[in-house]
Amino acid sequence: MKRPLVGWNLSTPSEPAPAGCSLFTRQPYAGSVTTSAQTGAQAGASFDDVTSSDSSLRRFLHGLPGVDQVGCEARAAGLGTRSIKTTAKAHAIDLAIRMVDLTTLEGQDTHGKVRALANKAMRPDPADPSCPATAAVCVYPDMVATARQTLGVLGDSGGPAVKVAAVATAFPSGRAALDIKLADTRDAVEAGADEIDMVIDRGAFLSGHYLQVYDEIVAVREACARPDGGAAHLKVIFETGELQTYDNVRRASWLAMMAGAHFIKTSTGKVQPAATLPVTLVMLEAVRDFREQTGQMVGVKPAGGIKTTKDAIKYLVTVNETAGPDWLDPDWFRFGASTLLNDLLMQRTKMTTGRYSGPDYFTLD
């Protein structure tokens, strides 16, 4: 299986970890990992045996180390007690803003609403030009053209390069025939989506038809190709609230990474529970281990239910102390969120002015 580069900018091999017990030293093993295309292709090839049949894929996924629920949740809770203050908080808020996929996925969405959202994504705080833009706007496929038009073609306007992400593949349930899912994907890509957020077939996954899920991801990824030779980046949504167990989350993570996902994403936001810290922790462990084994980095996107700056910072701490600082970048970690952005902006204003502003001082969409 040949796989192209993962992500937009592969991190350069990190330097040897400097002395100091801080969390921010690079993980000692990251230094030995090379993220080159060549390694990637070789690594991809090593999964050919695994994905050659349903039974071998099942053996591999069920052979992954188990996740102890109590221990996993305790670790996530422990990471949640980190106290991030002053300069560290200011840095985290800006980083979190840059990681937001500003999302609207409602039946009642209008073109006007999407235009407003896209404008907000480029200038989240119109009063403060130092406020960074969000990573992307995330919309349904029929809104991609509108978002694209508002945001301009990436990089050509000199303005902030906010990407357009589109949910596809019969989002959120994924209950449609494969050709419809692929058509949905191609449609979004043609309309100018930079990123496709697909959903896996949870029914197939839960009944153990892992190869079917795998093949579908591979097919969607192929449908992400653009005529100019490029391709939209693929985020694979597991809907972890439906997968239920952490063991399933770990298996789904490996399945999607082997199938070529650029990002693995927790939830659609339409099912409760959506993103949780322990689920994200398990996914971060998976991308960390995947890089150890293959040299390739895969991004992680928790989505749904992350509403406050405090929550967002807990996620960033978890990224920092689990996958490592290499993932503290919008290319490798995103928040799928809508209301989170305003809380980040409110906290950001508080950090600079020392005062909280009322909600009316921040735009609603």
Partner 1 sequence: MVSTGSTTDWTYAPAPESRGIVDIKSSYGLFVNGEFVDGTGKSFKTISPSTEEVLAEVAEASEADVDAAVKAARRAYTRVWSRMPGSERAKYLYRIARIIQERGRELAVLESLDNGKPIKESRDVDIPVVAAHFFYYAGWADKLEYALPHSMGSGADQQPLGVAAQVIPWNFPLLMLAWKIAPALAAGNTVVLKPAETTPLTALLFAEICQQADLPPGVVNIVTGAGATGQALVTHPDVDKVAFTGSTAVGRAIAKSVAGTDKRVTLELGGKAANIVFDDAPIDQAVEGIVTGIFFNQGHVCCAGSRLLVQESIADDLLERLKRRMATLRVGDPLDKNTDVGAINSAAQLARIRELSDIGDAEGAERWSAPCDLPTKGFWFPPTVFTGVSQAHRIAREEIFGPVLSVLTFRTPHEAVEKANNTPYGLSAGVWTDKGSRILWMANQLRAGVVWANTFNKFDPTSPFGGYKESGYGREGGRHGLEGYLT
C-beta closer to partner 1: residue 86 or 108: 86
Q: Percentage helix, strand, coil, to 5, in the chain?
A: 50, 10, 40
Q: What tokens were used for 308?
A: 């406050």
Say how many C-beta atoms besides its own lie within 10 A of residue 240's C-beta.
Answer: 30
Q: Known catalytic residue: 163?
A: no
Interface size with partner 1, residues (CB under 8 A): 54
Pick the catalytic residue from 101, 184, 194, 197.
197
Name the minimum Å distance from CB 277 to partner 1.
14
Task: Return the range that interacts with partner 1 (CB under 8 A); candidates 42-50, 268-276, 299-307, 328-336.
Answer: 328-336
CA dist., res. 318 & res. 169, Å (int): 30
Q: Where are the beta strands (DSSP E) in the chain?
A: 100-103, 136-139, 163-167, 195-199, 233-237, 263-265, 299-301, 335-337
CA dist., res. 365 & res. 122, Å (int): 12
Name the minimum Å distance from CB 324 to partner 1.
9
Q: What tokens were used for 291?
A: 């890089």
Q: Known catalytic residue: 235?
A: no
- The contact pattern for partner 1, residues 157-186, with x = CB under 8 A and - = no contact, is ---xxx------------------------
Largest interatomic CA distance in the chain: 60
Residue 12 near residue 260, CB atoms below 8 Å: no
- The contact pattern for partner 1, residues 304-323, with x = CB under 8 A and - = no contact, is ------------x---xx--
Residue of 60, 61, 75, 304 interacting with partner 1 (CB under 8 A): 75
Note whether 9 binds partner 1 by CB under 8 A. yes
The rounded Cα 94 to chain-centroid distance in angstroms is: 17
Name the minimum Å distance from CB 250 to partner 1.
9
Residue of 68, 230, 339, 359 interacting with partner 1 (CB under 8 A): 68
Note whether 325 binds partner 1 by CB under 8 A. yes
Of 64, 28, 73, 70, residue with least CA distance to 281: 73
Name the minimum Å distance from CB 303 to partner 1.
18
Residue 133 near residue 98, CB atoms below 8 Å: yes
Residue 33 near residue 295, CB atoms below 8 Å: yes
Residue 303 in 3-state DSSP?
strand
Name the minimum Å distance from CB 42 to partner 1.
21
C-beta closer to partner 1: residue 24 or 361: 24
CA dist., res. 93 & res. 248, Å (int): 32
Name the minimum Å distance from CB 153 to partner 1.
14
Q: Known catalytic residue: 301?
A: yes
Note whether 354 binds partner 1 by CB under 8 A. no
Note whether 155 binds partner 1 by CB under 8 A. yes
C-beta closer to partner 1: residue 130 or 272: 130
Q: CA triplet 111, 357, 138: central angle to 5 degrees?
A: 25
Note whether 22 binds partner 1 by CB under 8 A. yes
What secondary structure does DSSP assign to 106-119, as a single string?
Answer: -TT--HHHHHHHHH
Note whether 111 binds partner 1 by CB under 8 A. no
C-beta closer to partner 1: residue 28 or 230: 28
From the CA atom positions of the chain, what is the Rg in Å? 20
Q: Give, in order, the Cα–Cα distances in Å from 158 to each of 126, 164, 195, 218, 355.
A: 17, 16, 21, 34, 33
Note whether 133 binds partner 1 by CB under 8 A. yes
Q: Catalytic site residues?
A: 197, 265, 301
Contact residues for partner 1, defined by CB under 8 A: 8-9, 17-25, 27-29, 65-68, 70-72, 74-75, 81-89, 91-92, 94-95, 98, 132-133, 135, 155, 160-162, 285, 316, 320-321, 325-326, 328-331
